[in-house]
Amino acid sequence: MFAIGYKCMDCNKEIGGAQPVFRCPRCGGSLEVLYDYEQIKANFIPMQFRYMPPTHMKYYFALPLRKPHNVVTMNEGGTPLVQIGEDLLVKYEGINPTGAFKDRGSSVEISMAREFGKKEVVCASTGNMGASIAAYASKAGMRAVIFTPGFAEPVKLKQMEYYGAKIVKGGRTYSEALERSVEYAKKSGAYITGDYPYRLEGQKTVAYEIVDQMNFDAPDNIVIPVGNGTLFYATYKAFKEMITLGIAHKMPKLIAVQASGCAPIVDAFKRDKSKVTPVKNPRTIASAINCDNPVDGAGVLRALKETKGEAVAVSDQEMRSAKRGLARKGIYAEISSAAAYAGYLKLRPKGRTVIIITGVGFKDKY
């Protein structure tokens, strides 16, 4: 409704217009959607907004959607914020329709595909995103083709299959699956989905909900498991927007957690680099964050720097232990999202902290 174009996270090039653009035409970097924030503020009714219950589509004004009748939703969002310690809360995304936070981005991506009149969508996925895209495409009456690397969890492949997606297996890494999905999109004309600007916008709403559920008082820290980094950058962008709009009044410290067997962002952060060097031989049981060349790595590094954040790697054993620890507190987490709790236990940040648990524990075998 208020989107006016795109901006590259890498080279800052701005692109006007409403047509879909998936990568920067100048440098190939990741894009974020630009908005007319003055127009949003002019149409914003704070008191009415305050008393509406938090759900994904409550924050429609901060999404690129233009035509309400094209919105594809399954009432994603509105997930619980559970206190598990004196100053520790968990944002539990596992109760979204397909069991993961990906539904927030899929709702926006498939809605935009419908706006553009698309009948087929394609994406590369280690599992959760493919299942989510398959579900929302099915609801919208679209065909979905999902490219997966060899390590994708069988339970997630089964989920995609039941939603009616065509699954194309192959490739050793996520990057190889991504390349094949892009090639397919070019040849077939399918609408490409995944960690692109519209998904980033959809995933922002998890941060809006956290502030909403904390009575519009931002936490001191937010701990996020990181694969491609889209959720991490989306959280950073959401807080910038909320501060601009007067919804939040401070930027929390953002903490990125990766698996030690696939931690290119942590490595770049520790070396004070502005770009990520891909991992040659990624090895981890945390398939959902096993991304050898993070799509939004440069954006994550910038967000870490600007929020005075931290980045930490955790071992497979630390994730297993964290998954058990969360379960003892009533939270059954996917191993990849238990990484965030493992990172919290390693760093013990001071102040009120929110850990984002991105998926339900039934999503993997660990």
The contacts found for 111-115 with CB under 8 angstroms, 24 or more apart, are 111/65, 111/70, 111/71, 111/72, 111/73, 112/20, 112/64, 112/65, 112/198, 113/137, 113/140, 113/142, 113/191, 113/193, 114/70, 114/72, 114/140, 114/142, 115/65, 115/66, 115/67, 115/70
Q: Are 64 and 114 in contact (CB under 8 A)?
A: no
pLDDT at 244: 95
pLDDT at 50: 84
Q: Are 270 and 2 in contact (CB under 8 A)?
A: no
User: How far apart are the two ends of the chain, measured CA to CA in Å?
Assistant: 42
Q: What are phi and psi of 181, to 5 degrees?
A: -65, -40
Report d(CA 67, CA 70) in Å as an integer: 6
Query: What domains, with CATH codes, occur in the chain?
Result: 81-100+203-363 (3.40.50.1100), 103-197 (3.40.50.1100)
pLDDT at 17: 85
Residue 48, CA distances (Å) to 42, 43, 124 in order: 14, 12, 39
* Nearest C-alpha neighbor of 313 from the set 269, 247, 270, 263: 263
Structure tokens at 197: 């600007």
Place of tokens 């937010």: 222
Structure tokens at 52: 């509406």
pLDDT at 282: 96
pLDDT at 19: 85
Beta bridge partners of 360: 333
Report d(CA 254, CA 238) in Å as an integer: 12
3-state secondary structure at position 15: strand
Beta bridge partners of 34: 5
Beta bridge partners of 262: 259
Residues of the chain with pLDDT under 50: none
Outline where DSSP puts E strands in 71-215: 81-85, 88-92, 120-124, 143-148, 166-169, 191-192
DSSP 340-353: HHHHHHHH--SS-E
Given strand 3-8, what is the order of strands in its sheet? 14-16, 3-8, 31-35
pLDDT at 100: 98
